[in-house]
Amino acid sequence: MSMRGNSLLGQTLATRYEVVEYVDSGALGDIYKARDKRLSFRQVAIKVLRPDTPDDQVARFKREALLTGGLSSPHLTRTSDFGVLEDGRAWLAMEYLDGQSLATLLAAEGRLPVARAVHIADGMLAGLEAAHAAGVVHRDLKPSNVFVVDEPGVCDHAKLLDFGFAKVFEGDQPALDVTGEERIVVGTVSYMAPEQLRGQRTGPPADLYSVGLILFRALTGELPHAAMGPDASMLTQARFRAANLDAPPRALVDVGPEFADLSALSAVLAKALAPRPDDRFASAAAMRRALAEALDNALPPRASTPAEGAERWRHAGTENPLAVHRPPTVAAPEPEAPSTAPSAGAPPHPAVIWGGATGLLAVVIYFIWRAVG
């Protein structure tokens, strides 16, 4: 634990948040656990930026506070407050989560049974329904920005994290931030929609594309555009994607014989991953309905109580006739690391959590712009 990590212990922010525990550090700041004195000492997470944080990252931090503070859904991480310390550091109070990121889960499991993967995807889409209804597109969905928790009566409850790259969409407003003549692509290359990689307007269909990629990854252990394998470098992935932006993705049924009977689910993924935004689902709600219909006959009978429902999902890997049963192949870590899930038992929080673009990512973006522009 660094001395900086201890700096807020014992302090009370905004006369409300009593800092009780240092959790971890990221590239741009620290994470603490605090108690909300106004709400029966409910636990909250406090994210604090470092004094030398670049201005663009501070702006992203403030954007996350502004956007998530106005969203309401059990599948979105709630932000309750935002402020600035006396030394100028910005801080954010948000819901404290006890669980693990989907990236951590996939690193351990390799891939998930069909019912479990679809259940998590359904939670993601439920969160997007609320965000899109409020005019907000996430733009950086990936396994490390999906947190999975167990709640009373519900296992694998998915919550979307990190709206720092999110943007309000309306009318003909461009979805990419532009500074002068420099075009800046935001997001994570492996999980971007084609229009994001091209620097075009980005709306809800881009988020649905990312959900399709995440679900494909959860089911198979690889990405549909990762023909070279899951351990390929980010630059290799970028080269492949830049050369195949208009090509339809691999079909789920073509990945292996164990997926041959999943034609309905394969069709849902094909629609979600259509290269053209207009060819994808009209909304997150429409994609949720399609997923439910695709698997309705394959899932165990629906439970009559929340507790039975929790057990249904927990054991879906053995009860679901379409679940993948072969031993999982643990894929190499994604080219993005697990997210800031403010939990004392979570793994270290990497730089990508705080939005710092690495040199490698800059090279990848440059390559893509040369290839497609």
pLDDT digit string, tens, across residues 117-148? 999 999 999 999 999 998 889 888 999 999 99
H-type alpha helices, the chain: 55-69, 102-109, 114-133, 194-198, 204-220, 234-243, 263-272, 284-295, 306-314, 316-319, 359-372
User: Is there a domain that residue 354 lies in?
Assistant: no
What per-residue confidence (pLDDT) applies to 66?
76
- The contacts of residue 370 (CB under 8 Å, 6+ apart) are none
- Segment 65-69 long-range contacts (CB within 8 Å, at least 24 positions apart): 65/92, 67/136, 67/163, 67/166, 67/168, 68/94, 68/163, 68/166
What per-residue confidence (pLDDT) applies to 359?
36
Q: Please state the rounded mean pLDDT for residues 240-264.
A: 88
327 shares a domain with 290? yes
Q: For the chain, give the percent of residues with pLDDT over 70.
A: 68
| Per-residue pLDDT band at 247 (split at 50, 70, 90) | confident
pLDDT at residue 171 greater than cutoff 50: no
User: Is there a domain that residue 159 lies in?
Assistant: yes
Q: Which of 102-116, 193-207, 208-222 has the lowest mean pLDDT?
A: 193-207
| Per-residue pLDDT band at 70 (split at 50, 70, 90) | confident
| Per-residue pLDDT band at 102 (split at 50, 70, 90) | very high
120 shares a domain with 74? no
For the record, the structure tokens of 8 come out as 């807020």
CATH of the domain at 248: 1.10.510.10
pLDDT at residue 153 greater than cutoff 80: no
| Per-residue pLDDT band at 166 (split at 50, 70, 90) | low
Q: Which member of 122, 140, 156, 162 is catalytic?
A: 140
Active site residue 140: yes
264 shares a domain with 238? yes
pLDDT at residue 322 greater than cutoff 70: no
Closest CA to 362 of 183, 206, 109, 180: 183
What per-residue confidence (pLDDT) applies to 53?
84
Q: Please state the rounded mean pLDDT for residues 168-188.
A: 44
268 shares a domain with 151? yes
Structural domain range at position 75: 4-96
Q: What is the DSSP string of 104-153?
A: HHHHHHSS--HHHHHHHHHHHHHHHHHHHHTTEE-----GGGEEEEEETT
User: Is there a domain that residue 350 lies in?
Assistant: no
User: Is there a domain that residue 353 lies in?
Assistant: no
User: Is there a domain that residue 346 lies in?
Assistant: no
Q: Which of 64-68, 72-76, 366-370 has the lowest mean pLDDT?
A: 366-370
Q: What is the rounded CA–CA span in Å between residue 37 and residue 266?
A: 49
pLDDT at residue 92 greater than cutoff 70: yes
8 shares a domain with 82? yes
Q: Which of 96, 129, 152 is the last residue of a domain?
A: 96
Contact 258, 326 (CB under 8 A): yes
104 shares a domain with 88? no
Q: Which of 40, 72, 96 is the last residue of a domain?
A: 96
Q: Which of 69, 96, 123 is the last residue of a domain?
A: 96
Q: Please state the rounded mean pLDDT for residues 284-293.
A: 97
| Per-residue pLDDT band at 243 (split at 50, 70, 90) | confident
What per-residue confidence (pLDDT) applies to 56?
82
| Per-residue pLDDT band at 80 (split at 50, 70, 90) | confident
- Check: pTM over 0.85? Answer yes or no: no
Closest CA to 270 of 290, 252, 286, 295: 252
User: 337-353: per-residue pLDDT in tens?
Assistant: 333 333 333 433 332 23
User: 39-68: per-residue pLDDT in tens?
Assistant: 888 899 999 988 888 888 888 788 777 777
Where is pLDDT greater, at 49 or 312? 49
228 shares a domain with 189? yes
Q: Please state the rounded mean pLDDT for residues 228-251.
A: 75
CATH of the domain at 76: 3.30.200.20
